[in-house]
């Protein structure tokens, strides 16, 4: 791969216009969303999408989310349903992705969907992301802007640490507010939770007036990216730790004595926003990591999902 000089672009009108130009030329630009930084490429351009997989080292069976500026724009690419309409009205723009059947004439590269007949669509809330999507005026495929399997990026520095020289530019607008990826809901049959994330499950169920189906062991793999080992720091990670052992460094939650705290007040939104930045920093200490128990309700379910994958045995 020819190394790029990865430019830093400010999230000003000029910086956003430059980022949109690069995307229209088929080049890759990392950009902030309210969840994590995304690695954007034109979803209709097969070469741009192939370059996303190459820059991340991502397996080609793992499909990408198409980001668009509005629910109306999403409906150009997918078959819309009543449930999609209700969820979009309640949570878009925001940290929710919907998986729906592809619509005829959609024009999205088959690399985005990894050959599936469904597409994940999302309308992000971050002002710079919205301005960028409006300027591009087309679907932008964007996985999280980290090397495959590693910790997701919540700052431009995290993106640069993982992808410098592999992408054209990073649109920098400071740290991401939510800090966890979008919740993914499948709407191709009975509504199903494909990934817990930035919108808590009970809020989605309240809008739909029913429980979401949960992925269970016997099901076909419904979100192909939900691999057991993911978000992995170099150091080993031990969960539900009351206290550190040996050389461990403790990542705390609530009023515990520790080296670093996700939220001293036990606030789950604050903990979500801090999670990946804490893992990035702890990873630099090269010490094993212990993590305090995190309650499993609300955003805690998504935090625990990420921590379980970060602690899982690695493939390599
Ligand atoms: O918050 C987010 O969703 C961030 C920001 C950048 O928007 N993006 C993100 O993308 O987390 P990524 O690629 O890291 O995770 C996308 C997940 C993967 O687990 C993938 O398998 C699943 O979405 N996915 C994408 N398209 C799908 C589809 N058609 N059916 C089922 N799962 C799909
Ligand atoms: Mg990711």
129-175 per-position pLDDT tens digit: 999 999 999 999 999 999 999 999 999 999 999 999 999 999 999 99
- The pLDDT value given to residue 286: 87
- The pLDDT value given to residue 226: 62
Q: Which CATH architecture has domain 7-214?
A: Alpha-Beta Complex (3.90)
Q: Which two tokens stand for residue 70?
A: 């509005």
- The pLDDT value given to residue 223: 63
Contact 38, 31 (CB under 8 A): yes
DSSP assignment string, 267-302 = -HHHHHHHHHHHHHHHHTTTS-EEE-----STTHHH
Residue 81 Cα distances to 101, 106, 116, angstroms = 10, 16, 19
Q: Check pocket membership of 144 for ligand 1, CB cut-off 6 A.
A: yes
DSSP 8-state symbol, 152: P
CA angle 125, 223, 226 (to 5 degrees): 90
> To test the ligand 1 pocket, which listed residue (120, 139, 167) has its Cβ within 8 A of the most ligand atoms?
120
Contact 64, 49 (CB under 8 A): yes
Report how far residue 304's alpha carbon sits from residue 316's, in angstroms, rounded to the nearest whole number.
23
Report how far residue 71's alpha carbon sits from residue 93's, in angstroms, rounded to the nearest whole number.
8
Task: Tell me how far the alpha carbon of residue 62 lies from the centroid of ligand 1, in angstroms.
Answer: 8
- Which residues of the chain register pLDDT less than 50? 221, 316
Q: Which atom of ligand 1 is nearest to the CA of 184?
A: 23
Residue nearest to atom 18 of ligand 1 (CA): 225
Q: Check pocket membership of 181 for ligand 1, CB cut-off 6 A.
A: yes
Report how far residue 181's alpha carbon sits from residue 126's, in angstroms, rounded to the nearest whole number.
13
Q: Which atom of ligand 1 is nearest to the CA of 182?
A: 1
Q: Which atom of ligand 1 is nearest to the CA of 37?
A: 6
At 170, phi and psi to the nearest 5? -125, 120
Dihedral of alpha carbons 94, 100, 105, 111, sign:
positive
The residue count of the chain comes to 316
CA angle 311, 183, 191 (to 5 degrees): 120
Other CB atoms within a 10 A radius of the CB of residue 83 amount to 17
Q: Which atom of ligand 1 is nearest to the CA of 145?
A: 6
**Nearest ligand, CA 143:** 1
- The pLDDT value given to residue 217: 52
- The pLDDT value given to residue 224: 63
Domain residue extents for the chain: 7-214, 237-311
Residue nearest to atom 21 of ligand 1 (CA): 225
**Nearest ligand, CA 142:** 1
Q: Check pocket membership of 114 for ligand 1, CB cut-off 6 A.
A: no
Which spans in 28-112 are helix H? 46-56, 71-74, 82-91
- The pLDDT value given to residue 225: 60
- The pLDDT value given to residue 211: 97
> To test the ligand 1 pocket, which listed residue (66, 125, 181) has its Cβ within 8 A of the most ligand atoms?
181
Q: Which CATH architecture has domain 237-311?
A: 3-Layer(aba) Sandwich (3.40)
Print the SS3 string covering 167-221: CCEEEECCCCCCCCCCEEEECCCCCEEEECCCCCHHHHHHHHCCCCEECCCCCCC
**Does residue 134 sit in helix, strand or coil?**
helix
Report how far residue 49's alpha carbon sits from residue 226's, in angstroms, rounded to the nearest whole number.
20
Q: Which two tokens stand for residue 54?
A: 């190459």
> To test the ligand 1 pocket, which listed residue (167, 184, 275) has its Cβ within 8 A of the most ligand atoms?
184
pTM: 0.95
Give bridge partners of residue 119 from the DSSP assignment: 100
Whether the bond into 93 is cis, omega within 30 of 0: yes
**Does residue 28 sit in helix, strand or coil?**
coil
User: What digits encode the pLDDT tens for the residues 94-120?
Assistant: 999 999 999 999 999 999 999 999 999
């Amino acid at each position: 791969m020819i190394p790029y000089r990865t430019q830093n672009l400010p999230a000003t009108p000029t910086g956003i216009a430059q980022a949109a130009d690069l995307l229209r030329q088929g080049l890759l630009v990392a950009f902030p969303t309210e969840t994590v930084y995304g690695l954007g490429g034109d979803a209709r351009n097969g070469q741009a999408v192939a370059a996303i997989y190459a820059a991340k080292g991502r397996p080609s069976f793992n499909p990408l989310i198409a980001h668009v500026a509005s629910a109306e724009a999403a409906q150009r690419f997918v078959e819309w349903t009543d449930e999609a309409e209700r969820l979009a009205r309640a949570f878009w723009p925001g940290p929710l992705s919907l998986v729906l059947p592809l619509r005829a004439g959609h024009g999205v590269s088959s690399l985005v969907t990894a050959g599936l007949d469904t597409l994940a669509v999302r309308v992000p809330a971050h002002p710079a992301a919205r301005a960028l999507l409006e300027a591009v005026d087309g679907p932008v495929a964007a996985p999280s802007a980290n090397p495959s399997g590693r910790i997701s990026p919540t700052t431009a520095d995290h993106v640069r640490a993982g992808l410098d020289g592999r992408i054209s530019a990073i649109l920098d607008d400071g740290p991401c507010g939510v800090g966890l990826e979008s919740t993914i809901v499948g709407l191709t049959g009975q509504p199903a939770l494909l990934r817990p994330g930035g919108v808590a499950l009970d809020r989605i169920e309240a809008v739909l007036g029913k429980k979401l189906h949960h992925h269970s062991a016997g099901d076909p793999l419904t979100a192909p990216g939900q691999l057991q080992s993911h978000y992995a720091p170099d150091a080993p990670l031990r969960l539900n730790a009351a206290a550190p052992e040996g050389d461990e460094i403790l990542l705390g939650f609530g009023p515990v004595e520790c080296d670093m705290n996700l939220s001293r007040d036990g606030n789950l939104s604050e903990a979500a926003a801090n999670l990946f930045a804490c893992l990035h920093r702890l990873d630099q200490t090269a010490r094993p990591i212990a993590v305090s128990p995190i309650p499993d309700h609300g955003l805690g379910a998504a935090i625990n999902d990420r921590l379980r994958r970060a602690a899982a045995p690695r493939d390599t």
